[in-house]
Every structure is written in C-alpha cells, then in structure tokens.
C-alpha cells in the first residue's frame, strides 16, 4: 500500500491541519496501536450495540416527540432528547478511549517522556482521539434523530452544538484526570484506569454538564417573566456554556499536563 494511502498517514495529514504536528503524530500513533489489541476493541462493543438498539427502536416506534406541530415544551424536550441520547452514546465510546489515554502507554511511556514534545501536546493528541466519537457518530446520530423528529435546521444545529461542546468539555476532564493519575503498571487493558481518575472524572464532568445545562435551559425560562429579553437570555446561556467549556478544557489539560511533567518513571 502506498504511504499516501495508509489510513494513519492520511489521519496525520488531516489532523495536522488543525493540530500541532507533534499532537497529530500522537493521534496517528494511537490510531495505529489501539486496534491491534482486541481487548481494547471489546470496550467499544457495548456503546455500539446500544446505538444500534436505540436506532432500531426509533425506526420501529417513531420519535416520541415527532410531528410537525408540537407545543413549545415538547419541542424543547425533543431537541434535548436528541442531544442527550447522542451524547450518552458518544460519552461511553469516548470514555473507553479517553480514560486510559496516558495509561494505555504502559511501561513504554518513558519513550514519550524523553521525546521532544510537551505534556500539553501529548494530551492534545490524546484528546483528539477520545473526542472523535462526537463529531462522527454523534453528528450522524443527531442528524438521524432530527430527521425522525422533523426538526428544523436551527434545531439540528443547536442539538449538534450541545453534543459537540459538551463532549469537548467532558472528554477534556477525562483526559486531564487520566493524565494526572495514570496507571502505567497494568497487565490487562481493563485495568488501565486508576481509582482516582475513575472516581474524579465522572464527578467533575457531571458537575460541568449540570452547570452547562443550567445555563442553557435555566436562563431562557426567565423569559416567561421578561418576554422582551428572551433572545438576550438565550444568547447569554450559550455564552456561559462556551466560556465554561473553554475554562474546563484549559483547566483540565493544564492540570493533567502539570502532573504529567512531574511524573517520575521508575527504572
């Protein structure tokens, strides 16, 4: 196979357009290594089966929020359900990739440790791999659900933005905690997650998602008391969501990178 046709080479060239070359190299390396161990792929079976079951039920039964005319509350619930189902499936997929992002290197992590690449750029490459389910599977699932619900393009865009932004924040937290508390002495891929990372990651990303949904859904509800500020309150909710996500991404990766830089590799 020519080098240009190699999937990993193509992934490296494509990711180099948006990532530093060092981070793109980490991503390409992980794309090559991850599928080699079937025990890694076993972790992806459950979310893929779950996605298939959800798709079958939605096709067979139809969307519970479908229909061309629905009250506003059911319309909003339909959009939230579309984003929520897609997000959950991607979250399970991403967690299998993100949680052991650094731990997956095992005892060979010293090769990255001595390489001329900063910890932040290592984590950026790990983040890119773990985030892949959201724009790919998540995007397709949101589109599929939006078609079933007869959603408008604006509703589709909002649901997709919720999945992509929420996924970026949650994935960054999982990657950051995995880097801060790695487990490099594993023998079985199922033992790659440390207790600290496994406990802290869900607590932190649930808190982040709670705040994000509070801003997105809570502020527009105030429009019932001040109808003239409905658009401003909606925009404010999205602005808070964006700012919160940016802060979470920066904070999680910075914390993980700082801890990773201080990690001592036993000889």
Assigned domain for 266 exists: no
HSE (CB half, 13 Å, CA atoms) of 84? 9
Assigned domain for 7 exists: no
Question: Is a pLDDT exceeding 60 seen at residue 248?
Answer: yes
User: What pLDDT shows up at residue 7?
Assistant: 52
Residue 168 vs residues 190, 212, 247: alpha-carbon distances, Å:
24, 12, 11
Average pLDDT for 220-244? 85
Assigned domain for 119 exists: yes
pLDDT class of 94 with cuts at 50, 70, 90: confident
Assigned domain for 153 exists: yes
- Round to the nearest angstrom and report the end-to-end CA distance of the chain: 39
User: What pLDDT shows up at residue 19?
Assistant: 77
User: What pLDDT shows up at residue 129?
Assistant: 87
CA–CA separation, 38 vs 34, rounded Å? 9
User: What pLDDT shows up at residue 167?
Assistant: 93
Q: Give me 243's structure tokens.
A: 């700012």
CB 197 within 8 A of CB 177: yes
Average pLDDT for 118-129? 87
Which segments of 62-215 does DSSP mark as H helices, in order? 72-98, 109-114, 119-131, 139-148, 153-180, 195-213
Q: Residue with structure tokens 């724009």?
A: 135
Assigned domain for 88 exists: yes
Rounded percentage of the chain residues whose pLDDT exceeds 90: 17
User: Which of 42-46, 172-176, 212-216 bottoms out in mean pLDDT, i.e. has the lowest?
Assistant: 42-46
Query: What are the pLDDT digits (tens) for 156-169?
Result: 888 899 999 999 99
Assigned domain for 33 exists: yes
Query: What are the pLDDT digits (tens) for 30-74?
Result: 777 766 665 555 666 666 676 667 666 666 665 544 444 444 444
CB 90 within 8 A of CB 138: yes
Assigned domain for 51 exists: yes
Domain span including residue 236: 15-261
User: What pLDDT shows up at residue 99?
Assistant: 59
The secondary element (H helix, E strand) that includes residue 10 is helix 7-15
> Into how many domains does the chain fold?
1
User: Which of 19-23, 31-35, 197-201 bottoms out in mean pLDDT, i.e. has the lowest?
Assistant: 31-35
Q: Give me 174's structure tokens.
A: 């999982």
pTM: 0.80
Backbone angles phi, psi at 43, to 5 degrees: -70, -20
Assigned domain for 128 exists: yes
Average pLDDT for 193-201? 81
């Amino acid at each position: 196979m020519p080098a240009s046709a190699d999937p990993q080479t193509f992934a490296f060239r494509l990711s180099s357009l948006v990532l530093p070359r060092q981070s793109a190299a980490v991503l390409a390396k992980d794309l090559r290594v991850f599928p080699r161990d079937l025990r890694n792929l076993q972790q992806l079976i459950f979310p893929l089966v779950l996605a298939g079951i959800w798709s079958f039920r939605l096709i067979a039964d139809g969307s519970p929020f479908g229909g061309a005319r629905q009250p506003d509350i059911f319309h909003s619930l339909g959009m939230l359900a579309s984003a929520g189902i897609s997000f959950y499936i991607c979250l399970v997929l991403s967690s299998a990739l993100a949680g052991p992002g650094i731990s997956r290197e095992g005892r060979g992590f010293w090769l990255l440790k001595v390489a001329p690449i900063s910890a932040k750029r290592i984590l950026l490459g790990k983040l890119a791999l773990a985030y892949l389910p959201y724009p790919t599977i998540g995007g397709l699932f949101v589109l599929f659900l939006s078609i079933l619900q007869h959603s408008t393009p604006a509703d589709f865009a909002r649901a997709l933005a919720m999945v992509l932004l929420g996924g970026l924040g949650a994935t960054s937290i999982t990657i950051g905690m995995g880097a801060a508390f790695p487990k490099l002495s594993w023998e079985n891929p199922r033992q790659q997650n440390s207790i600290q990372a496994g406990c802290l990651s869900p607590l932190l990303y649930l808190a982040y998602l709670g705040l994000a949904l509070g801003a997105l859904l809570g502020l527009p509800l105030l429009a019932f008391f001040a109808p003239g500020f409905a658009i401003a309150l909606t925009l404010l909710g999205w602005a808070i969501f964006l700012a919160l996500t940016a802060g979470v991404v920066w904070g999680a990766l910075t914390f993980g990178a700082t801890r990773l830089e201080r990690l001592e590799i036993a000889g």
